[in-house]
Amino acid sequence: SKDIETAKASLVSFFQAEERIQTFLNHKFPSLQKRAEKALELGHGMLSAIQADIILKMRLQALTGLEREKLETGYLELMEEIKGYEELLADEKKIYAKIREDTLELKKKFADPRRTQIDEAAMDFTMEELIPYEDYAVTISEGGYIKRVLLSTYRQQGRGGKGVKGADTKEGDVLDQVLIAHSHDYILFFTDKGRMFARKVYEIPEMSRTAPGRSIANLLDLEKEESVTSLLTIPDIQDPSKYIMMITERGYIKKTPLDLFSNVHNRGIVAIRLEEGDRLIETLLTTGEDRLVIGTRKGKALLFEEKDVRPMGRTARGVRGIRLKGDDQVCGLVRVEEGHTLLTISEKGYGKRTPFEEYRQTRRGGQGVINMKTTAKNGMVIGLHAVKDQDDLVLITSQGKIIRISASSIRLCGRNALGVRLIRLDQDDILVSSAKIENDNGEKEEKKETRIDGSDLDSNSGSTTGSTTQE
């Protein structure tokens, strides 16, 4: 240490004062380094460079007037202290004894009563409570890549715009579904084999707007060739007052109590029994007392009472919801809500709003009435939503473009109208999915999403629903 070096330098200076003075004052060695080297040479290695520096800085009066006995005593005391520390560090028992001694001394000195309290309840929290409450847009591609993006990323644009790039999908892949969901809600995944999986929204990888996403196989234990065809978001998977309404591509509808799905495990559970060639198109959360509208690809709609469908178990097929003509297929299912209108969207970017009052209520199993006139200009219908003026719509195209528009910008039309342009599409691009964003000044509302299967856009269709969240 510095104290030892100082003591040694002082002792050396005392015994060889005259010689050291001549060495350090010699003009032949002006630099400190050279003086130190000379000192080392004269002292035959007894003097270190640090000691030489200490002597150099001492006043001549102090150098010649040093007391021998005082210097020797100080040096011996330092060496004894060093020996004691070395013995302490070499013995683990002595180290712990020293720690105990010092701790007891601190306790004796500062043992005043605690002025604060430790609240155990404040430490009782889960990791989920640390996750912020935010709204997300969840997208799935036809190739099975999933991600979530903050909803605020997509700003509202005027109707008829071209939208922004939603994802840099892998070659040959296209975006297929979009869903608006709250970070703490559950997402129920329904597959083309009739199985259901449940995950929290925050478990889905969060990525940038243009990221391709991550394989859904990393999130769900899907079988080979199994794919997700419908999504539903709900805040509580154990609500006994709610039902899940399911509609298939061929028009079969089934109602199952929500609490029958509360014990879903990682490998999924059976949600519906599907006939060969049929597939689940859309799921919807209902109260058991709602009125529902089924929509088809060729522009038909059927309005009926939910009570017409009796509750069934998870493995049931369901009953006929609508009678389809020819090669027509179901594309959507919505709940009639007060103060809302029926929004119908077609694959070539057209849409219209129509009051629910224009649809005659019948019983399930009928053919329905005209809902939208479908032509080569506007294409087939891809989905339905029950909207009010304050709501927004998120539309997604097969080439990955996404646009967010206001529902109020879409004109009110009759049942047999073509609608107005919602998005300007590039050549060979079509709409494949849409999601409703509820805007109710912070109240939790249902999020509705529809989609079609981009692999066979003329014949295959599908849709999914979301549930409550905040905007």
Is the pLDDT at 455 greater than 80, yes or no? no
Domain check: are 10 and 148 in the same one? Answer: no
In a shared domain, residues 333 and 186: yes
CATH number for 218: 2.120.10.90
Instruction: List, for residues 116-142, the tens digit of each pLDDT value.
Output: 877 766 566 777 888 888 999 898 888
pLDDT band at 206 (very low <50, low <70, confident <90, very high): very high
Same domain, 331 and 445: yes
Please state, in angstroms and as integers, the Cα–Cα distance from residue 49 to each residue in 16, 18, 52, 62, 356, following that order. Answer: 17, 19, 5, 20, 97
In a domain, 173, yes or no: yes
Same domain assignment for residues 253 and 358 = yes
Residue finishing a domain among 11, 36, 66: 66
- Of the three residues 66, 83, 109, the one that is the final residue of a domain is 66
What is the structure's pLDDT at 172?
66
Q: How far, in Å, CA of 314 to CA of 201, rounded?
A: 24
Q: Which of residues 66, 81, 102 is at a domain's end?
A: 66
pLDDT at 44: 43
Task: Give the pLDDT score at 76.
Answer: 82
What pLDDT, on a 0 to 100 scale, did the predictor assign at position 354? 95
Residue entry with tokens 């006043």: 59
In a domain, 308, yes or no: yes
Average pLDDT, the chain: 80
Over residues 383-409, mean pLDDT: 90
> Are 287 and 154 within one domain?
yes
Structure confidence at residue 122 (pLDDT): 59
Residues 6+ apart with CB under 8 A from 443: 470
C-beta of residue 256 within 8 angstroms of C-beta of residue 438: no
Per-residue pLDDT band for 29 (boundaries 50, 70, 90) equals very low
57-66, 147-156, 301-310, 394-403: lowest mean pLDDT where? Answer: 57-66
In a domain, 71, yes or no: no
The better pLDDT of the pair 138, 15 is held by 138
- pLDDT: is 118 or 402 the higher one? 402
pLDDT for position 470: 31
How confident is residue 46, by pLDDT bands cut at 50, 70 and 90? low
How large a percentage of the chain has pLDDT more than 70? 76
Determine the pLDDT at residue 452: 41
Tell whether 331 is covered by a domain.
yes
Buried b (16+ CB within 10 A) or exposed e, 311-325: ebebebebbebbebe
Predicted pLDDT at 151: 86
Q: Give domain status of residue 400, yes or no.
A: yes
What's the pLDDT at 236? Answer: 85
Q: Is the pLDDT of residue 265 over 90?
A: no
Give a yes or no: residue 378 inside a domain.
yes
How large is the average pLDDT for residues 324-329?
94
pLDDT, position 465: 35
pLDDT score, position 450: 44
Q: What is the pLDDT of residue 5?
A: 62
Output the pLDDT for position 461.
34
Higher pLDDT, 439 or 380: 380
**Whether residue 265 sits in one domain with residue 162:** yes
Tell which wins on pLDDT, 5 or 465. 5
Structural domain count, the chain: 2
Between CA 253 and CA 275 the distance in angstroms is: 13
Is residue 447 very low, low, confident or very high in pLDDT (cuts 50, 70, 90)?
A: very low
Tokens of 122: 């404040």
Identify whether residues 332 and 459 lie together within a single domain: yes
The answer to the question of residue 58 being in a domain is yes
The predicted-structure confidence for 335-381, as pLDDT tens digits, reads as follows 999 999 999 999 999 999 999 999 999 999 999 999 999 999 999 99
Assess contact for 147 and 204: CB atoms under 8 A: yes
pLDDT single digits (tens) 417-438 = 989 999 999 888 899 888 888 8
- Give a yes or no: residue 444 inside a domain: yes
- Domain range for 242: 133-469
Residue 318 pLDDT greater than 50, yes or no? yes
Residue range 32-52: mean pLDDT, rounded: 54
Q: What is the pLDDT of residues 151-205, one digit of tens each?
A: 888 777 778 777 777 666 676 677 788 888 899 999 999 998 899 999 999 999 9
Most confidently modeled of 38-42, 235-239, 405-409, 464-468?
405-409
